[in-house]
Structure 1
Amino acid sequence: MILLIFFVLSLIKIIHSTTYRCDPTISCGCSARTTNVTSRIVGGAATADYTWGWIVSLQRSSSHACGASLLTSEYAITAAHCVYGVSDISLLSILAGTNYLYDTSVTTSQRRTITKVTIHPNYNCTTIASDIAILQFATLNVSSSSKLTFICLPKQNQDPFKNNTDLVAVGWGTTSQGRSTPSNYLQQVTIQAIA
C-alpha cells in the first residue's frame, strides 16, 4: 500500500497557489464561491464553506472513513476499498452539506444511512484495480438552502485529465506527514495532471 501511495504521489506534480473559480451557470461541480487553493498535498488549506457541495464524508459508526462524491440526491461514488469487506452496511452513512465532520450545529448538514453498496465487479483488493463503488441512500433534501451540488461527470469517451490540467483534490485527509487522524475540516489542494 505504501508503495502504491508513493507511486501515485510521484506521478503528481505539485503546483503553486491557484485561484479556483466556479462557473455559476453549470448545474454540477461547484458553487459560485471563489477559493484560493494552496500547493501541498498533505495539509492543503481549509476550504471556504459550501465551495464543494458535492463532497460527502463516508462514515463507519459515525467516524469518517473516506470521501465520496454526490452523483444524485440518492447516489454517491467512492473508492471500493472504502467499503470492501464491510459485512453490516447499516454501520455506514454519509454526512453531506457541511465542511465540518463533528460540528452538529451546522444547519445544512444531512446524514443518511447507506442502504446499498455496489462494488465494481472487477475490483481486485490486491492490485486495487477497478477501485470504485456506488453508494445508495435515502434521498437528500436538495434546494438552494441545502448547499448541495452534484459532481460533474465527463461525457462518454472524453478524458478530462489532459497533461498539465489543474485539478483540485478535496477531502478530510491528514494535515501533516505521519499523522493518521483526519482533519475535522474539509481541506483542498491544487495538483496538476501528468499523463
Structure 2
Amino acid sequence: MKLSHQFYASPQLSDSTSRTLPTPNLAFHSPSTECGVRPHVKSGRIVGGKGSTFGAFPWQVLVRESTWLGLFTKNKCGGVLITSRYVITAAHCQPGFLASLVAVMGEFDISGDLESKRSITKNVKRVIVHRQYDPATFENDLALLELDSPVSFDTHIVPICMPNDVADFTGRMATVTGWGRLKYGGGVPSVLQEVQVPIIENSVCQEMFHTAGHNKKILTSFLCAGYANGQKDSCEGDSGGPLVLQRPDGRYELAGTVSHGIKCAAPYLPGVYMRTTFYKPWLRSITGVK
C-alpha cells in the first residue's frame, strides 16, 4: 500500500488495474456475536500510510493461492471476514488453473510467526464469484470465499460489521488496509499497512477520471476513495481488502472492498471499491449476514 492499487487482473486492460478516531475500550463480550470490535486497540489515532499494529484490524484476511498440491503458495489478495465461514474478496482474485485459495485470519507480519497470537489458515471450499462480474470493466468485482470449516473468533480474529442498507459515507474518512505494494511498481511490506482516505461522491469521482483523461464509467455499485492529488491509495496486492469506517457506537463497518484503479495514488485517479450497501442483498442471500 502507499498506501498507494494496481492490479493487472485482465490482460485487455493495460492501464486499468485492480487492487481514526480514538477507539473506545470495547469489552470483548461474546466472540460469537460481536462484530467490528478491536480488542487489541485501546485508543489512538490512525495515521495514513503507516504500518499497523497487531490485532488492530482483526477482520483483515490474507488470501493466498496454492498450486501443485500446495507445493507453491503465494500471497494473492486481501479479504475481509464477515462471518465465521465466509470471507469477501475481489472476483479477480479467483484462483488460476489447477490452483486453490487459502484464507489466513489473524495475520499481521507475513515474514514470520512473531505475533503474540498465531494466525489461522483455512482452505477455501468454494469460491462464489458474482455472476455478473465483468473483467473488462471490473463491474461486480466481488467474490465470497466459503471456508472448509468455521473459524473461531478471538481477540485478533473478529468479523466486520455490515453497514446499514441506506448508509451513505460520502465525505467521511475511511481506512483501507492490506499488504499490497507500497507504491506503483514498488515493493511489498511484511507488516499490514493502513491508510486513511476520504470517500468521494461518485459524480465527483467521475469528473476526476475525466480530468485525468480516462473515460471510465463510475457505476452506482462503485465507491471511490482517495485524494485529487493522489498521495494515498490502495495498490497491487490490496484487492479484496476492507475499506472501513467507525460507527458512533465505536464499532467498525465495511464501506467497500478494494477493487481496482489506474496506477496507484496518481492525481485525479482515486481508488475504486465495490460499494458494500449495493451488494448487501447478494451477500445476505448466500451468507445470511445482516
Contact 2:62–2:107 (8 Å) recurs in 1: no
- Ranges in structure 2 where 5+ consecutive residues have no aligned partner: 1-12, 29-33, 67-72, 202-290
Q: 1:100 to 1:134 in 2, by over 3 A?
A: same
Task: Within 5 Å, give how 1:83-98 maps onto structure 2.
Answer: 83=94, 86-89=96-99, 91-98=100-107
**Per-residue CA shift, 1:107-151, capped at 9, x if unaligned?**
42111111100000100011110000000112112234xx21111
Give the aligned partner of residue 115 of structure 1: 125
Give the aligned partner of residue 69 of structure 1: 80
Give the aligned partner of residue 185 of structure 1: 191
Q: Does 1:159 align with 2:163?
A: no
User: How high is the TM-score relative to the length of structure 1?
Assistant: 0.78
Q: How far did 1:64 drift?
A: 1.2
Q: Does 1:24 align with 2:26?
A: yes
CA RMSD, 1 decimal? 2.5
Contact 1:35–1:48 (8 Å) recurs in 2: no
Distance between the aligned counterparts of 2:125 and 2:60, measured in 1?
19
Q: How far did 1:164 drift?
A: 1.3
Higher mean displacement: 147-156 or 101-110 = 101-110
Q: Does 1:48 align with 2:48?
A: no
User: How high is the TM-score relative to the length of structure 2?
Assistant: 0.54
Q: How far did 1:184 drift?
A: 1.2
Q: How far did 1:20 drift?
A: 4.9
Q: 1:67 to 1:23 in 2, by over 3 A?
A: farther
How many residue pairs are counted as aligned between the two chains? 174
- Ranges in structure 1 where 5+ consecutive residues have no aligned partner: 9-17
Contact 1:92–1:113 (8 Å) recurs in 2: yes
**Per-residue CA shift, 1:153-195, capped at 9, x if unaligned?**
1122x1342x21110000001123431x432110000000111
Matched letter for residue 143 of structure 1? D
- Over alpha carbons, which structure has the higher Rg? 2
Kindly report structure 1 stretches of 4+ aligned residues shifted beyond 4 Å.
none
Contact 1:35–1:51 (8 Å) recurs in 2: no
Q: 1:64 to 1:190 in 2, by over 3 A?
A: same
Identity level (%): 24
Q: How far did 1:104 drift?
A: 3.1
Give the aligned partner of residue 104 of structure 1: 113
Q: How far did 1:74 drift?
A: 1.0
